[in-house]
Amino acid sequence: MKIVLIGYMGSGKSSVGNKLAEVLKIPFKDMDAEIEKNEGISISKIFSEKGEIYFRKVENRVLKKILTQSEAFVLATGGGTPCYGDSMDFILEQDDVVTVYLKTPLEVLTMRLFSEKENRPLLTHLKTEEDLNDFIRKHLFERGFYYNQSEMIIDVGSEKIVKTVEKILLKLF
């Protein structure tokens, strides 16, 4: 089984994915790390030197490469991964893939992301929490169509990672 975690940046996909993979004793994969390995440069550099369109094309190609592997794993996607090109359709077409949307409240995302916005290429231009909140709200509205196609929707708040992993396991088995 391949478990693909979907959700907005800051929703905990990497943290939850790492713990979930550990519990299931299967490998953990992170889209950003896979893209950086594939391109030989950081995500920030890809955005600044080659732009978002280039990044999204690479992201789509790397996603398809990962999902066609035969082994079981947990994959933490980027926040925009399912929303561009044919990515979500491709994910849903795979027989051995379970999609999990980590649905996180706007306030929690704003709080988490404000302190780390300098490390997030899409957020560096936002100066206030209010600007960030408006930006996230708009994105959640636009991306909701894709996120909500997931087979599982897990409501996540400020709870501990193990609680979220527990919710996923209870729905999986």
Q: Is 12 annotated as a binding residue?
A: yes
Task: For 51-102, write each residue's pLDDT tens digit.
Answer: 989 999 999 999 999 999 989 999 999 999 999 999 999 999 999 999 999 9
For the domain made up of 2-172, give the CATH fold.
Answer: Rossmann fold (3.40.50)
pLDDT for residue 141 is more than 90: yes
pTM: 0.92
Residue 120, annotated ligand binder? Answer: yes
**Residue 13, annotated as binding a ligand:** yes
To the question of whether residue 112 is assigned a binding role by annotation, the answer is: no
Q: What is the per-residue pLDDT across 31-46, written as a single tens digit (0 to 9) for each?
A: 999 999 999 999 989 9
Residue 11, annotated as binding a ligand: yes
Which pLDDT does position 116 carry in this prediction? 81
Check whether 137 has a pLDDT greater than 90.
yes
Q: End-to-end alpha-carbon separation of the chain, Å?
A: 12
* Mean pLDDT value across residues 119-135: 85
Q: Which helix (H) or strand (E) holds 154?
A: strand 152-155
Q: Whole-angstrom Cα distance, residue 124 to residue 114?
A: 10
Query: 56: annotated binding-site residue?
Result: yes
The response to whether 10 counts as a known ligand-binding position is yes
Domain boundaries, the chain: 2-172
Q: How many angstroms separate the CA atoms of 93 and 106, rounded?
A: 30
Annotated binding-site residue? 158:
no
158 pLDDT more than 90: no
Q: Is 15 annotated as a binding residue?
A: yes
Q: What is the pLDDT of residue 96?
A: 93
Q: Is 137 annotated as a binding residue?
A: no
